[in-house]
Chains A and B, each alone.
Chain A
Amino acid sequence: MNIADSIQINYINDRLKANRLSNESLRNEVMDHVICKVEDLLVEGSNFHDAVNTVLEEFDLQAIEKNRQKLLQRKILSRTKNVSLAIVVLLFTMVIGVDAQEKPDIHPLGNGYKTALTFGDHTINGAIKKQNGIDIIAPFGTKVLSAARGEVVIVDASKDYGNYIIVKHNNEFSTLYASLSEIKVEEGAFVKKGDNIALSGKIGSSKAHLHYEIFRNNECVDPESYLSED
């Protein structure tokens, strides 16, 4: 039995997104797998929603993301054939581990840029829309800086975010930079506070801006409460 219905496919896509499967190409792949399993259950006489719930319940999405990061990270280390370089990388990793308290507290564009859309709920055309971060108005091509040192864990693109990067700073903080015109780092790269990681851009016909989110313990928090005053 085939699921050709785009409403059903969108529904599964949203469920996967809700499960924080953020990488789009991985999500497409997992979605095909999930749909295959759902179709098998439909053939056995299950209804669509029960089938999706059953499949997602037994599907270990977190394990896929976790193992993927682990394997790709190992690849970076194995590529570092020069022993002294490997030691530097190792020391650097340890420093990041030790300095777990570094907060993403610098402005991702340097200061002096205006926030156009603030964090939280907004009423847009009568509907309430939740803003997970802030939109900062900036000319196309403005340098985007990493708000703290950390590891680039995701480089990807999606319809809502355009080109985006996620930097994991420590177990507590990660930051997301979206609406980018150019990305200057690769997945797995280690960056310092203030490093230029991308250039800002725009999404579709929007005004040029940077979209910025801070995750603290996997929850979105208001970035403005972390930006330096000076």
Chain B
Amino acid sequence: MHSKELLKGTLKTIILKLLKENERMYGYEITQEVKKMTDGKIQLTEGALYPTLHRLEADGYLKTETQKIGKRIRKYYYLTSKGGATSGQLVNEFYDFINTINLLLKPQ
């Protein structure tokens, strides 16, 4: 498992990227998808995920819709056009960042 500290700045990028590819997702689905895609190396905690989702919504990157599933309510998140545009931009920025860190960390 990767450390929380390393993950901290990437959560926003991960969420926006997943939603770009999946149209709409709910919280638990996001945690499961991340777990599956990373072979369990990244496990998002609820304590980090939901506040970030709510912040992204408040900032206009995401919108939500609710749906009744049996007797409970499920909240789905999807990208606004602003969220869609930001998603690609953040992914590119992050690749750039990885390359830069690579310059620093690769053995000379």
Contact = CB atoms under 8 A, between A and B. Distances in A.
A67 B73 CA distance: 23
Contact of B47 (A26, A31, A67): A67
B50 A26 contact: yes
B60 to A, nearest CB: 11
Residue among A3, A59, A64, A66 with the highest chain B CB neighbour number at 10 A: A64
A6 B71 CA distance: 7
Contacts of A70: 51
B48 to A, nearest CB: 7
Given A68-B51, A70-B51, A59 B72 contact: no
Contact of A32 (B26, B45, B47, B58): B26
Contact of A72 (B55, B70, B74, B75): B55
Given A68-B51, A70-B51, A71-B55, A4 B45 contact: no
Interface of B: 26-28, 45-48, 50-52, 54-55, 58-59, 66, 69-75
Contacts, number: 68
Q: Give the interface size bracket for A toward B.
A: 20 to 34
Interface of A is mostly: helix
Given A33-B46, A36-B28, A63-B45, A3 B51 contact: no
A26 to B, nearest CB: 7
Given A28-B73, A32-B69, A63-B45, A71 B28 contact: no
A187 B72 CA distance: 26
Contacts of A66: 47
A41 interface: no
Nearest to A32: B74
B50 A3 contact: no
Given A59-B46, A60-B47, A37 B55 contact: no
